[in-house]
Chains A and B, each alone.
Chain A
Amino acid sequence: DGGITQSPKYLFRKEGQNVTLSCEQNLNHDAMYWYRQDPGQGLRLIYYSQIVNDFQKGDIAEGYSVSREKKESFPLTVTSAQKNPTAFYLCASSIRTGGGLQPQHFGDGTRLSIL
């Protein structure tokens, strides 16, 4: 059954700590994305990757880092530099074609809170 798996579902961060959110997909998609969602708001793009070993900053990349060593995996690290990390984090993937972005498939999110 193809899809995107995000783990953990809930995560707590202590002050000064880096935490890593996992995102794995078995849809054979080239493109992967990380979004942040705050209560009552839309999604804001943190980082995206069009291909393995390449990624680009989105609109709110400060305080976050990513890697894309495998096609299936796109982990997000929330560093201690991110002063307001409490949010719902969503990972997505899509195929790459020209003529506009294709539908994105989303995981079920990780809810990050500060201890």
Chain B
Amino acid sequence: SQQGEEDPQALSIQEGENATMNCSYKTSINNLQWYRQNSGRGLVHLILIRSNEREKHSGRLRVTLDTSKKSSSLLITASRAADTASYFCATDGSNDYKLSFGAGTTVTVRA
């Protein structure tokens, strides 16, 4: 079963704008990860946030985690055409053996 659920399913923005997507999950976690997938390619790891962290930055990416609400958000600032991709959150639930992925948010950045 899918532990993480992203929202919205799709997002279309103008180049230079910010993109925000959210992830909700159901059970307690050790950490939450965000991945990017370009069309027809494998996933690329973007950022990992641990359950005792509230915010993390990596370049133009900002991730927040609210364990009380069981939710996370990914913000991409100053978007570029190259940011066009699907973005997935993944959680490890209550074990160390497998990640559960959501269905993803498809982001289109218009030039």
Q: Which A positions have Cβ atoms within 8 angstroms of B?
A: 4, 6, 33, 35, 40-45, 48, 50, 56, 58-59, 90, 92, 98-109, 111
Contacts and interface: CB of A to CB of B under 8 A. Distances in A.
B13 interface: no
Contacts of B4: 42
A109 B57 CA distance: 29
A33 B96 CA distance: 13
A11 B96 CA distance: 32
Nearest to A33: B98
B70 to A, nearest CB: 16
B25 to A, nearest CB: 12
Of A43, A45, A56, A104, chain B has the most CB atoms within 10 Å of the CB of A43
Nearest to A90: B42
Contact of A107 (B40, B42, B97): B42
Interface string B4-30: 100000000000000000000000011
Interface string B58-86: 00000000000000000000000000000
Nearest to A50: B97
Nearest to A99: B30
Contact of B45 (A33, A59, A105): A105
A58 B88 CA distance: 19
B96 A100 contact: yes
A33 B42 CA distance: 13
Contacts of B50: 99-100
